[in-house]
Amino acid sequence: MARDLYYHTLPARILHWVNAANIGLLTTTGLYIRDPETFPFFAGMDIARKIHFIAMYLIIYGILIRIYYSYVSQDYRELLFRIRDIKGFPALVKYYLFLSKELPDYGKYNPGQKFLYNLWAVLVFFQAFTGFALYFPNVSAGLTRMLGGPLLFRQVHFLLTWVFIVTVALHIYLSFLGGWTVVKSMITGYFPEGEHMQPSSEPAGISEKI
Ligand code: HEM
């Protein structure tokens, strides 16, 4: 009989939802700041900017604490994308294109997940870099000019926002495709032993807590 494994620890779950909320706030406020008529998510520019400025500090702390936690808990061993993970991509792509029904045993996270989670940390760094350059134009004037000017920084900041939007949408879609068990595991922490985190044509097994 399948047992429930303790899959996501409490700090990992809290950081997941805190970071998710901040990315959501940064994206929606950012789009509003860019073009309030096309993205009328907020009541005014003042409140949107305030939220953006609070969330930008929170996401930086959130990511730094997550990196620190992955070191102390040692879960970076499962999370860190390594060059050798590239070899796992063809089988994963075949599976997602319905060309194969089997997935290799990748361990806790498949190469696509690892790549995405690592990419988000890098993207937040670039968002912070371009964002702070826009935030403190006097301090960053020389550097900004050298690297292409504030307009370019603004466009890069905006473009990376769309990378977030597309990849977060993909992440949510694949999580729900994996089933409620997958989504629930990020709330309760538990996941049935032997089940794949990836979408499966098999019905989810009945699980039992340990
Ligand atoms: C992580 C640190 C970040 C900093 C320091 C930062 C800072 C800023 C600043 C200063 C602005 C200009 C606000 C204004 O003109 O009133 C801005 C705009 C914006 N931010 Fe951020 N931000 C950060 C993260 C993010 C993230 C993670 C996203 C989305 C995922 C995002 C999306 C946007 C968008 C779409 C705009 C509007 C850009 C435009 O007008 O073209 N920001 N940000």
* 109 occurs within a structural domain: yes
Total domains, the chain: 1
Residues with CB under 6 A from ligand 1: 23, 26-27, 30-31, 33-34, 49, 52, 56, 59-60, 124, 127-128, 131-132, 134-135, 154, 157-158, 161, 164
The per-residue pLDDT for 207 is 33
CA-to-CA distance for 192 and 209, rounded, in angstroms?
9
Mean pLDDT of the chain: 91
pLDDT digits over 128-182, tens only?
999 999 999 888 889 888 898 889 999 999 999 999 999 999 999 999 988 899 9
Is the pTM value of this prediction over 0.95? no
The per-residue pLDDT for 197 is 63
CA-to-CA distance for 96 and 154, rounded, in angstroms?
35
C-alpha of residue 121 to centroid of ligand 1, in Å: 16
* 70 occurs within a structural domain: yes
Full residue range of the structural domain in which residue 121 is found:
4-192
The per-residue pLDDT for 63 is 98
C-alpha of residue 174 to centroid of ligand 1, in Å: 27
CA-to-CA distance for 1 and 208, rounded, in angstroms?
8
Residue 110 belongs to a domain with what CATH number? 1.20.950.20
* 161 occurs within a structural domain: yes
* 207 occurs within a structural domain: no
* 208 occurs within a structural domain: no
